[in-house]
Each structure stands twice: as C-alpha cells, then as structure tokens.
Amino acid sequence: MKKMILSLMLLVNMVSMSWTITEGKDEFGDNNGQKIATQNMGGYRDGIFRLQKDGKALEFYIVLRDYIGDVDNNKVKFKVDNNNPISLNITSDSQDGTALWIANTNQKSKFDALINQMKQGKILKISINGYFYDFTRKVDLKGFSEALEIVK
C-alpha cells in the first residue's frame, strides 16, 4: 500500500506542474475510485477546465466564474495550437449558468480527435458564445497526456 501511495504521489507531482489530480467523491464524501484532472484557465476569474470519467464516458467540465447562460447552438469550439477548430455539443449545464459538461457520448470521433490533438499540443483555446457575452479561455496542455492516463 505504501508503494502505491508513493507511486501515486510521484505521479501527481510530475503532473502537478499544470494539472491537479484529485479523487472523486460519492454522495457521502468517500472516495469513489474516480480520478479527476483539473487545470486553471489563467487567473481565478478565468475558471477551471476539468477532465474526468463518468462511468465509461470521458468528459470535459468547464467552470467559468461568470454567467454563461444559454450557449449558441449548444456548441463549444475548441482549438489546439494552429489546428482547425472542433465544435462539440454540450451534454449539460449547471443550474446557475456558470458550468458546462461535454461528454464523448454521441460525438466520440470528434471528441477523440480533440483528445489526440491535445496530447500533442501546447495550448487549448476554448470559445463559448454565451447568453450575454462571448468567452475565450486558454488551457496549458503541459502534462495533459500524463493526466489523461491517470483519469482513464
């Protein structure tokens, strides 16, 4: 058990330069075995980008510190470095209008193409056309491949 904890700590330290790895919790606050990788999108006001697995589905969870509201066409655009943008459908959003979930269900080929670009890229740009405002955020992809392996 000590070796496993030390190995996990070492792996977390390797990735933690840009990604934070945490344990998922169930409704009782107990660890549920899920691993979650989180990256800040700039400063506090810019929000977070999270990669997690919900059952078999890999998903992105985007939290902004501002009201997003209804998103144009229920799509979010992603662009890695200078590659062509990829639009993904929103799976669901939060009741307070500040968070979005985007899962690989029903859009697996596009989602997988984006993941492959992210593994090789340096910067992910996210464009969201919100209800009142348009948002563009950047995510540093350093350590993404390692974070992905932990989450899978």
Share of the chain above pLDDT 90, in %: 35
Nearest Cα neighbor of 66 from 135, 127, 129 is: 135
**What is the spatial distance between Cα 1 and Cα 7, in angstroms, rounded to a whole number?**
10
**What is the spatial distance between Cα 36 and Cα 48, in angstroms, rounded to a whole number?**
12
Q: What does the pLDDT read at residue 120?
A: 96
Q: Is the pLDDT of residue 27 over 50?
A: yes
Model confidence pLDDT, tens digit, residues 39-84: 888 766 678 888 888 777 788 888 887 788 777 667 899 999 999 9
pTM value? 0.79
CB 78 within 8 A of CB 114: yes
Q: What does the pLDDT read at residue 85?
A: 96
Model confidence pLDDT, tens digit, residues 72-89: 667 899 999 999 999 998
Q: What does the pLDDT read at residue 72?
A: 65
Q: What is the mean pLDDT of the chain?
A: 82
If residue 70 lies in a helix (H) or strand (E), which one and from where to where?
A: none
